C-alpha cells in the first residue's frame, strides 16, 4: 500500500498493488483462521515470544532462536507456524528428550511462504526454533554504508506489515493473534539496535541489547533496526532516533510530537504503550511511516525543514489506538486500521494547527479518493471497505479506499451524530476492545448497538450497508471544502489564462498549497509554460519530496524533459514506494521515456527495499 493518501498511483497500478486478502476469520470460541496464515490458530495461540538473534552484516543474515510460549487450548498434536525463506536448523521443547520432529510443507503461493509443522507432545508449553534468515528476506533491507547519511556504517531495518514477519521470525503471522515479547540482539559493537519495544538510548560497548514489549502485539508489529544511531529527547516520554547527521533536523521537524500525544489522549483516552519515540530511517525506507509500537519508523523524506509534513507523525501516533490497540482481525478488515487512523490523524491536525490546515488535508485526501475510485472502476470490489483479499497478497488489495473511504465514512458518522457523541463512541470503542482484534462484522454490530441504537430509519438514512459492503461512494459522502485551496485555484486559473508564473500571488503558500496547485494542472500545458513554472518556482530542484514528486509526475506526463536529470537523482536516492512506483509507471507510459526508466532502474534497484523493488518489477516487467 504505497499509494496512500497523497498518492497518486495511476489506476492500473492501484489495482495492481492494492488488491486484498481472504478473511474467513471470526474469533468464535477462541479459535479463528486467517486466510493469510498457515498457523493452526483454531487450536493453539502463541502467548509470548523470546528472541535471541545475531545480526551478521557480512552474510546479511539474522540467526538465532525463537522460543514460543504456547497455549494449546485444544490439545493439538502439532504447532503450525508461518515461515518464508527461512532455514530451520532444529526444534526443541523443554525437558528431557527436547528434540521435536518438524517439516516444512508446501505452498502454491510465494507470498505465503511455507508452513512449518512441529509435532507436539502432551504438556509442551515452550517450543524453540533455531533458524537463519535468507539474505533476500523480504522484510529486511541491508544497507551498504553509502546508502546511509553518514556513509560509514551499514544499516538494517525490518518492515513486517502485512505478512512479512514470517521472513525473519517463524511465528503465527496473523494480526488476529497477539503476544508479548522479549529479545536479545547482538550487533557489531559500533552500532545500536532498536525494536518495537523498550529501547536503549545509547550505544553500549558489548553490542548486545535487550528488549521487552510488555503489551501483547500482533506479529506485523515486530520490528528491528540496527545502525549508527543517536537519541534526542523531546520530553520525558518521547524522543527521536536518527543517524548523527540527521538528528538535529529530525529533532526540529518533529518537535510537536509531545503536543500530538497529549491531543490524541484528550480525544480518545490514555496512550497505553509507555514511551513514544520516532526512528528516522535512511531514504530507502519503503513507506512514509510504520506504526511499530513504542517506535514509529519514519521516512526522512518528510523532513522538509518547515514541519509541513508532520501529519505523518499524527497518523502513525494515531495507530497507537486504531490498529495497535484495536487491531484489524485480518487484512480484509484493514480499513479498521487505516480509515480510523486517517480520521484520527486529521482530528489531531485540526486540534493542533487549525481548521484551515485540516481542510487542506481533507481536500487532498478526498481528491485521492475520487481518483482511486476512477482508477479502480466504481464497481470494483476493491472499492468496498469490507475487502476480500483472501486469494491475493494483502498488499495488492490495499488502496486509498481503506484510508479515504474509511475516513469519509467516519466523518459522515461524526456529522450525523454530532462530534461529542461520536467522540464518546470512539473512546468507548477503543477502551472496550483494547488489545483485541476486530473484524468488520463485529464493528458493524458495535456501531448498531452503541451509536445507531437499532433505529432502522437512521440506519437506512446513513446508508450503512452500502458504505461498508458495496463498491463506490454513497451519496451522503461528505464533500470537503477548503477556502485556502480556492485561493490556489484562482492563481492556477490566472496562470491558465496567460499570466506569467512570476505574476502569481504565491506568498505564504505552504507545501499543501503547492501540491494543490500542481496536482490540478491541465494536460495541455505547453513546454514553455512548464519551463516558466519550473524556472520561476525551482520545482525540479525542490528539496521538498512531496512537491518534487507532484511536479515530476506532471513533468513526465507533459513530456517536459528538463526535469529528467532531477527525476533520475530522486529515483537513485529515495526508495519510498509511494513516490518511486508511480514515477516509474508514468515514465513507462511515455514511449520517449521507457528506455530512460529502465536505465535508471537498473542502477537504482539494488538500493531499494524488497517491498519497493517487487512493486517496480511488476510495473516494468
Q: Return the number of the residue (223 or 464) whose C-beta is nearest ligand BES.
A: 223
Q: Closest approach of Cβ 589 to ligand BES, in Å?
A: 23
Q: Closest approach of Cβ 160 to ligand BES, in Å?
A: 8
Q: Return the number of the residue (160 or 172) whose C-beta is nearest ligand BES.
A: 160
Is 593 known as a binding-site position? no
Told to judge if 375 belongs to the known catalytic residues of this protein, a careful annotator would answer no
Torsion angle of C-alpha atoms 39, 40, 43, 47, degrees rounded to 10: -10
Q: Closest approach of Cβ 306 to ligand BES, in Å?
A: 17
Is 578 known as a binding-site position? yes
Told to judge if 316 belongs to the known catalytic residues of this protein, a careful annotator would answer yes
Interior angle at CA 315, CA 313 and CA 317, nearest 5: 65
**Three-state secondary structure call for residue 509:** coil
Q: Quote the cell numbers at residue 602.
A: 537498473
CB 333 within 8 A of CB 23: yes
Is 577 known as a binding-site position? yes
Interaction of residue 408 with ligand BES, rule CB under 6 A: no
- How many residues sit in the footprint of ligand BES (CB under 6 A)? 18
Interaction of residue 203 with ligand BES, rule CB under 6 A: no
Q: Using CB under 6 A, which residues numbered 278 to 297 contact ligand BES?
A: 287-291
Of 253, 316, 345, 414, which one is the catalytic site residue?
A: 316
Is 576 known as a binding-site position? yes
The DSSP H or E segment spanning 133 is: strand 126-133
In the block, cell 530507502 appears at: 284
Is 159 known as a binding-site position? yes
CB 241 within 8 A of CB 202: no
Q: Closest approach of Cβ 521 to Zn ion, in Å?
A: 29
- Spatial distance between the Cα atoms of 403 and 369, rounded to a whole number of angstroms: 9
- Spatial distance between the Cα atoms of 143 and 145, rounded to a whole number of angstroms: 6
Of the candidate spans 106-114, 310-318, 520-528, 592-600, the one that interacts with ligand BES by CB under 6 A turns out to be 310-318
Q: Is cis: bond before 162, omega within 30 of 0?
A: yes
- Spatial distance between the Cα atoms of 149 and 573, rounded to a whole number of angstroms: 11
Q: Using CB under 6 A, which residues numbered 367 to 396 contact ligand BES?
A: 395
| Residue 287 binding result from ligand BES, Zn ion, none, given CB thresholds of 5 to 8 Å by partner type | ligand BES
CB 103 within 8 A of CB 117: yes
Between 335-353 and 440-447, two packed helices, what is the crossing angle to 10 degrees? Answer: 50
| Residue 161 binding result from Zn ion, ligand BES, none, given CB thresholds of 5 to 8 Å by partner type | ligand BES
Q: Using CB under 5 A, which residues numbered 309 to 368 contact Zn ion?
A: 338, 341
Which burial class, exposed, middle or buried, applies to 493 when counting CB atoms under 10 A from its CB (0-12, 13-18, 19+)? Answer: exposed
Is 438 known as a binding-site position? no
Q: Using CB under 6 A, which residues numbered 143 to 162 contact ligand BES?
A: 161-162
Going by the DSSP 8-state scheme, the letter that residue 300 receives in this structure is G
Q: Return the number of the residue (231 or 287) whose C-beta is nearest ligand BES.
A: 287
CB atoms within 10 A of CB 603: 11
- Spatial distance between the Cα atoms of 130 and 52, rounded to a whole number of angstroms: 9
Buried b (16+ CB within 10 A) or exposed e, 49-82: bbbbbebbbeebbbbbbbbbebebeeeeebbbbb
Q: Return the number of the residue (149 or 611) whose C-beta is nearest ligand BES.
A: 611
Interaction of residue 347 with ligand BES, rule CB under 6 A: no
- DSSP assignment of 29-62 equals GG----TT--S-TTT-EEEEEEEEEEEETTTTEE
| Residue 115 binding result from Zn ion, ligand BES, none, given CB thresholds of 5 to 8 Å by partner type | none
Rg over alpha carbons for the chain, rounded to the nearest Å, is 24
Interaction of residue 4 with ligand BES, rule CB under 6 A: yes
CB 260 within 8 A of CB 352: yes
Is 315 known as a binding-site position? yes
| Residue 5 binding result from ligand BES, Zn ion, none, given CB thresholds of 5 to 8 Å by partner type | ligand BES
Q: Closest approach of Cβ 293 to ligand BES, in Å?
A: 12
Q: Closest approach of Cβ 596 to ligand BES, in Å?
A: 26
Q: What is the binding site for Zn ion (CB under 5 A)?
A: 338, 341
Q: Which residues are catalytic?
A: 316, 403
Q: Which residues are annotated as a binding site for Zn(2+)?
A: 315, 319, 338
Q: Which residues are annotated as a binding site for a peptide?
A: 159-161, 286-291, 576-578
Q: What is the binding site for ligand BES (CB under 6 A)?
A: 1, 4-5, 161-162, 287-291, 312, 315-316, 319, 338, 395, 398, 578
Amino acid at each position: 500500500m504505497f499509494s496512500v493518501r497523497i498518492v497518486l498511483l495511476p489506476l492500473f497500478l492501484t489495482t495492481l498493488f492494492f488488491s486484498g486478502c481472504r478473511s474467513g476469520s471470526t474469533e468464535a470460541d477462541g479459535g479463528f483462521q486467517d486466510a493469510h496464515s498457515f498457523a493452526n490458530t483454531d487450536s493453539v495461540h502463541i502467548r509470548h515470544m523470546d528472541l535471541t538473534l545475531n545480526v551478521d552484516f557480512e552474510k546479511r543474515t539474522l540467526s538465532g532462536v525463537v522460543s514460543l510460549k504456547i497455549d494449546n487450548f485444544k490439545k493439538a498434536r502439532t504447532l503450525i507456524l508461518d515461515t518464508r525463506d527461512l532455514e530451520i536448523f532444529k526444534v526443541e521443547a523443554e525437558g528431557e528428550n527436547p528434540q521435536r520432529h518438524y517439516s516444512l510443507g508446501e505452498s502454491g503461493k510465494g507470498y505465503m511462504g511455507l508452513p512449518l509443522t512441529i509435532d507436539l507432545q502432551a504438556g509442551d508449553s515452550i517450543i524453540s526454533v533455531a533458524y537463519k534468515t535468507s539474505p533476500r528476506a523480504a522484510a529486511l533491507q541491508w544497507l551498504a554504508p553509502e546508502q546511509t547519511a553518514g556513509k560509514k556504517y551499514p544499516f538494517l531495518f525490518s518492515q513486517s506489515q502485512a505478512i512479512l514477519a514470517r521472513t525473519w521470525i517463524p511465528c503465527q503471522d496473523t494480526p488476529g493473534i497477539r503476544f508479548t515479547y522479549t529479545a536479545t540482539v547482538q550487533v557489531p559493537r559500533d552500532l545500536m539496535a532498536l525494536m518495537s519495544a523498550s529501547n536503549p538510548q545509547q550505544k553500549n560497548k558489548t553490542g548486545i541489547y535487550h528488549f521487552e514489549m510488555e503489551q501483547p502485539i500482533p506479529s506485523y508489529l515486530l520490528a528491528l533496526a540496527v545502525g549508527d544511531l543517536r537519541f534526542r529527547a523531546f520530553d520525558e516520554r518521547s524522543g527521536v532516533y536518527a543517524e548523527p547527521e540527521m538528528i538535529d533536523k529530525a529533532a526540529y521537524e518533529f518537535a510537536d510530537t509531545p503536543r500530538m500525544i497529549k491531543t490524541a489522549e484528550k480525544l480518545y483516552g490514555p496512550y497505553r504503550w509507555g514511551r513514544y519515540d520516532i526512528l528516522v530511517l535512511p531514504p530507502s525506507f519503503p513507506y512514509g511511516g510504520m506504526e511499530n509500537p513504542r517506535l514509529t519508523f519514519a521516512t526522512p523524506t518528510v523532513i522538509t525543514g518547515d514541519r509541513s509534513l508532520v501529519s505523518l507523525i499524527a497518523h502513525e501516533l494515531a495507530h497507537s489506538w486504531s490498529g495497535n490497540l484495536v487491531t484489524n482481525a485480518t487484512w480484509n478488515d484493514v480499513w479498521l486500521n487505516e480509515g480510523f487512523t486517517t480520521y484520527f490523524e486529521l482530528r489531531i491536525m485540526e486540534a493542533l494547527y487549525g481548521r484551515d490546515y485540516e481542510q487542506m488535508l481533507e481536500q487532498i485526501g478526498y481528491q485521492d479518493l475520487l481518483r482511486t475510485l476512477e482508477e479502480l472502476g466504481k464497481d470494483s470490489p476493491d472499492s468496498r471497505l469490507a475487502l476480500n483479499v483472501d486469494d491475493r497478497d494483502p498488499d495488492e488489495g490495499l488502496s486509498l479506499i481503506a484510508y479515504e473511504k474509511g475516513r469519509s465514512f467516519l466523518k459522515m458518522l461524526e456529522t450525523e451524530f454530532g462530534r461529542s457523541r461520536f467522540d464518546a463512541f470512539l473512546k468507548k470503542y477503543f477502551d472496550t476492545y483494547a488489545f483485541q482484534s476486530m473484524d468488520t462484522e463485529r464493528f458493524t454490530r458495535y456501531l448498531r448497538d452503541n451509536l445507531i441504537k437499532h433505529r432502522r430509519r437512521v440506519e437506512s438514512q446513513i446508508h450503512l450497508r452500502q458504505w461498508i459492503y458495496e463498491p463506490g461512494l454513497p451519496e451522503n459522502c461528505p464533500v470537503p471544502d477548503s477556502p485556502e485551496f480556492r485561493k490556489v485555484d484562482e492563481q492556477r486559473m490566472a496562470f491558465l489564462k496567460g499570466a506569467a508564473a512570476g505574476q502569481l500571488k504565491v506568498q505564504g503558500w505552504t507545501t499543501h498549497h503547492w501540491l494543490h496547485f500542481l496536482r490540478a494542472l491541465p494536460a495541455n500545458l505547453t513546454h514553455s509554460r512548464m519551463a516558466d513554472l519550473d524556472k520561476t518556482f525551482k520545482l525540479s530542484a525542490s528539496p521538498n519530496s512531496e512537491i518534487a514528486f507532484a511536479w515530476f509526475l506532471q513533468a513526465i506526463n507533459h513530456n517536459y524533459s528538463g526535469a529528467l536529470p532531477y527525476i533520475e537523482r530522486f529515483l537513485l536516492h529515495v526508495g519510498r514506494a509511494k513516490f518511486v512506483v508511480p514515477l516509474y509507471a508514468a515514465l513507462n507510459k511515455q514511449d520517449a521515456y521507457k528506455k530512460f526508466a529502465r536505465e535508471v532502474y537498473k542502477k537504482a534497484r539494488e538500493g531499494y527495499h524488497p517491498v519497493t523493488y517487487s512493486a517496480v518489477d511488476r510495473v516494468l516487467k
